[in-house]
Structure 1
Amino acid sequence: MGEKVAAEGNDLADRERYRRKLHDCLEGLRRLLAEKRFDRPKNLMGLEIELNLAGADGRPRMLNSQVLERIASGDFQTELAQCNLEVNITPHRLSGRVLDQLAEELRTGLGYAERKSREVAARIVMIGILPTLNADDLTVASLSANDRYVLLNDQMRAARGEDFVIDIQGVERLITRSPSIAPEAACTSVQLHLQVTPGRFAAVWNAAQAIAAAQIAVGANSPFLFGRELWRESRPPVFQQATDTRAPELQAQGVRPRTWFGERWVDSAYDLFEENLRFFPPLLPLCGPQDPLRVLDEGGVPDLAELILHNGTIYRWNRPVYAVADGLPHLRVENRVLPAGPTVADVIANTAFYYGLVRALAEQPRPVWTRLPFTVAAANFDTACRHGIDATLRWPRPGRAGGLTEIPAVRLVQQELLPLAAAGLDAWGVEPADRDHYLGIIEARCARRANGASWQAAAFHHALRQGLPRDAALAAMTRRYSELMHTGEPVHTWPVPWAAGAAVVPAQRRTAAGGTVA
Structure 2
Amino acid sequence: MGEEVKRTTYNRAHRREYRRKVRLCLDVFETMLAQSRFECDRPLTGMEIECNLVDGDYQPAMSNRVVLDAIADPAYQNELGAYNIEFNVPPRPLAGHTALDLEEDVRASLNVAETKANSGGAHIVMIGILPTLMPEHLSDGWMSESTRYTALNDSIFTARGEDIPINISGPEPLNWQAASIAPESACTSIQLHLQVGAENFAANWNAAQVLAGAQLALGANSPYFFGHELWAETRIELFAQSTDTRPEELKTQGVRPRVWFGERWITSVLDLFKENVRYFPSLLPEVSDEDPLAELAAGRTPHLSELRLHNGTVYRWNRPVYDVVDGQPHLRLENRVLPAGPTVIDMLANSAFYYGTLRSLSEADQPLWTQMSFPAAHANFLAAARHGIDARLHWPGVGEVSAPELVLKTLLPMAHEGLRRWGVDAEVRDRFLGVIEGRARAGRNGASWQVSTVHALQNGGMDRPAALTEMLRRYCEHMHANEPVHTWD
| Fold in common (TM above 0.5) | yes
Cα displacement (A) at 1:172: 1.1
Q: Distance in 1 between matches of 2:277 and 2:103?
A: 38
Q: Distance in 1 between matches of 2:418 and 2:428?
A: 13
Note the alpha carbon deviations across 1:139-164, whole angstroms, 9 max, x for none. 46310001100111111110111001
Q: Distance in 1 between matches of 2:125 and 2:448?
A: 17
Alignment of 1:76-475 (within 5 A): 76-139=76-139, 141-397=141-397, 405-475=399-469
Cα displacement (A) at 1:132: 0.4
Cα displacement (A) at 1:93: 0.7
Q: Distance in 2 between matches of 1:305 and 1:160?
A: 26
Q: Distance in 1 between matches of 2:79 and 2:140?
A: 14
Q: Distance in 2 between matches of 1:169 and 1:2?
A: 31
Q: Distance in 1 between matches of 2:188 and 2:248?
A: 27
Cα displacement (A) at 1:484: 1.1
Q: Distance in 1 between matches of 2:88 and 2:200?
A: 25
- Aligned residue in 2 for 1:29: 29
Q: Distance in 1 between matches of 2:331 and 2:209?
A: 17
Contact 1:103 1:344 in 2 (8 A): yes
Q: Distance in 2 between matches of 1:148 and 1:8?
A: 7
Contact 1:41 1:196 in 2 (8 A): no
Q: Distance in 2 between matches of 1:256 and 1:147?
A: 26
Secondary structure, counterpart of 2:165 in structure 1 = strand
1:476 aligns with 2:470: yes
Secondary structure, counterpart of 1:425 in structure 2 = helix
Cα displacement (A) at 1:438: 0.3
- Aligned residue in 2 for 1:498: none
1:53 aligns with 2:53: yes
Cα displacement (A) at 1:137: 1.2
Q: Distance in 1 between matches of 2:119 and 2:472?
A: 20
Contact 1:140 1:180 in 2 (8 A): no
Contact 1:324 1:330 in 2 (8 A): yes
Q: Distance in 1 between matches of 2:480 and 2:251?
A: 43
TM-score scaled by length of structure 1: 0.93
Q: Distance in 2 between matches of 1:374 and 1:140?
A: 41
Note the alpha carbon deviations across 1:202-229, whole angstroms, 9 max, x for none. 0010000100001111110000000000
AA aligned to 1:447 is R
Secondary structure, counterpart of 1:48 in structure 2 = strand
Q: Distance in 2 between matches of 1:460 and 1:8?
A: 42
Cα displacement (A) at 1:23: 0.2
Q: Distance in 2 between matches of 1:139 and 1:418?
A: 44
Secondary structure, counterpart of 2:141 in structure 1 = helix
Secondary structure, counterpart of 1:49 in structure 2 = strand
Cα displacement (A) at 1:466: 1.0
Q: Distance in 2 between matches of 1:125 and 1:451?
A: 17
Q: Distance in 2 between matches of 1:165 and 1:183?
A: 11
Note the alpha carbon deviations across 1:432-484, whole angstroms, 9 max, x for none. 00001100000000111000000000010011111111111111111111111
Contact 2:62 2:141 in 1 (8 A): no
Q: Distance in 2 between matches of 1:220 and 1:105?
A: 24
Which shows bigger deviation, 32-41 or 160-169? 32-41
TM-score scaled by length of structure 2: 0.99
Which shows bigger deviation, 53-62 or 380-389? 53-62
Cα displacement (A) at 1:41: 2.7
Which shows bigger deviation, 40-49 or 315-324? 40-49
Contact 2:160 2:247 in 1 (8 A): yes
Contact 1:165 1:177 in 2 (8 A): yes
Q: Distance in 2 between matches of 1:285 and 1:3?
A: 13
Which shows bigger deviation, 94-103 or 312-321? 94-103
Q: Distance in 2 between matches of 1:415 and 1:3?
A: 42
Q: Distance in 1 between matches of 2:65 and 2:12?
A: 35
Cα displacement (A) at 1:8: 4.4
Q: Distance in 2 between matches of 1:456 and 1:106?
A: 24
Cα displacement (A) at 1:60: 0.8
Cα displacement (A) at 1:98: 1.5
Alignment of 1:506-517 (within 5 A): none
Number of aligned residue pairs: 489
Q: Distance in 2 between matches of 1:8 and 1:249?
A: 27
Q: Distance in 2 between matches of 1:9 and 1:183?
A: 22
- Aligned residue in 2 for 1:72: 72
Secondary structure, counterpart of 1:440 in structure 2 = helix
Secondary structure, counterpart of 2:283 in structure 1 = coil
AA aligned to 1:426 is R
Unaligned segments of structure 1, at least 5 residues? 399-404, 496-518
- Aligned residue in 2 for 1:500: none
AA aligned to 1:425 is L
